[in-house]
Amino acid sequence: MKIFITGGSGFIGTNLALHYAGETHQVTVLAKQATDTERENAEDLRRAGVEVVCGDIRDRMLVERCCEGAEVVYHIAAAMREANISDRDFRDINVKATRQLLEVSKQAGVRRFVHCSSIGAMGWEMTKPANETSPCRPRDIYQVTKRVAEDVCLDFWRTEGLPISIVRPADVYGPRDRRLLKLFKGVQKGRFAMIGSGRNEHHMVFIEDLITGFVLASQVEAAVGQVFIVAGEEPVQLNCLVSLIARELGVGAPRLRVPLFPLQALAAVVEDACKPFKIQPPLYRRRMDFFRTDYAFDISKAKQVLGYQPRYDLQDGLGRTLHWYREAGLL
C-alpha cells in the first residue's frame, strides 16, 4: 500500500512515516529541510526506504506527483505558531493548500484521507473536560485557520464523497520532539523557572499513541466524516509535569517562580519590537501559552468509535523521551 504524508520531516510526520516504512509499505513524504532537525529527519527517512520529496505544500504539480498511486493520505503539514508569519501565509498553507490537497487526492483515487488538525482549533475558552461536541472559540490566526480547515475537509467529504477523518491531537511528545527538550534541559541545569502558578492543566499524548489513533482513523469505516480528539488517559498540572521530568532526570524539582503577568507584558513588547525587522523574537506572546493555557479532554469518542486506547502513561512516555534525547546526544 502506498502512503503519502505531508509535513513528513516534522516530528509527527517522521514518526508516522517510519511506522509505515517499518511495516514495509511504500511511503512518500512531502518535506521541508529548512532546519537541521528537518534535515536529520529526512536522512533517517531515506535510510528507512521512505521517498522524501522536498518542496512546498502549495505547489500543486508537486502534490499531484506525490499523490499518484496513493491509497491513504495523511495531511500533517501546517503553518505553526511562530512569530513573523503573516496571516496570509496561515490562510494559504492551512486552508487553501488543504483544499487543493483534497482536490488532488480525489482526482488520484485516494481511498482514505486523514487530516491532522489541532486542539487549538477549539480555542482556549473551553469547559473541562472538553470533547468533540464542545463549542469551538478559536482566537488567534493559527487556531482560526485550523478550525476553518476542518470545515473545508468536512464540506469536501459531503459534496465530493472523499472518505475523510479528522484527528485533533493533544500536546504531542516523545522521541524526536524538540519542544519539551528545552524544558528537560532547563530542569536538568537548574535553570527552569515556573511562570505563574503551575496549576494549569495540559493534556498530552505520547507519539506512539497518536500514531495508533491516526492509523485507526484511516481504517475504521465509522470514522469517515468524524472528528476525534486523540490524547492520553488523563491531563496533568504543569507543576506535576515538571516534577515528573525532574524525577526522570534524577534532579530536584525546580523552585524558582516568576509572576505570569509581567512576563506576558514583556513578551508583547519584545515581539512588537522585533516585528518591523523581521527578527524571530526570543520571547513572544504565544510562547507564554505553555504557562497559561488550561485544558483537559474526554477521549470517549475515540475509544468507542476507533477502538483507541492509550498504551503509555505519562511517566513511561517521559522516560522513553529522555532515553531518546540521551541516545541522540541532546542531553
> Phi and psi (nearest 5°) for 53?
-110, 120
Task: Tell me what pLDDT residue 257 has.
Answer: 87
> Using omega within 30 degrees of 0 as the cis cutoff, is the peptide bond preceding 282 cis?
no
Is residue 128 classed as helix, strand or coil in its secondary structure?
coil
Task: Tell me what pLDDT residue 297 has.
Answer: 97
Q: What's the pTM? A: 0.93
How many percent of the chain have pLDDT more than 70? 98
Instruction: Quickly state the pLDDT bin for 81 (edges 50, 70, 90).
Output: low
| Cβ neighbours of 58 (radius 10 Å) | 15
Q: What is the dihedral of CA 140, 217, 52, 103, to 10 degrees?
A: -70
Here the cell at position 206 is: 505520547
Task: Tell me what pLDDT residue 11 has.
Answer: 97
Residue 114 has pLDDT above 90, yes or no: yes
Residues 94, 98, 117, 321, CA torsion sign: negative
Listing DSSP states for 180-223 in one string gives: HHHHHHHHHTT---EES-S--EE-EEEHHHHHHHHHHHHH-GGG
**Domains of the chain with CATH codes:** 2-179+204-235+295-322 (3.40.50.720)
Q: Please state, rounded to an integer, the average pLDDT across all residues of the chain.
A: 93
CB neighbour class for 34 (10 Å; exposed up to 12, middle 13-18, buried from 19): exposed
Task: Tell me what pLDDT residue 83 has.
Answer: 55
**262-320: per-residue pLDDT in tens?**
777 887 887 778 777 677 777 777 777 888 889 999 999 999 999 999 999 999 999 99
Residues 6+ apart with CB under 8 A from 37: 178
**Helix runs in 220-330, H state only:** 238-249, 260-274, 289-292, 300-301, 314-327
Cβ burial 167-201 (10 Å sphere, 16+ → b, else e): bbbbbbbbbbbeebbebbeebbeeebebbbebebb
Task: Tell me what pLDDT residue 246 has.
Answer: 97
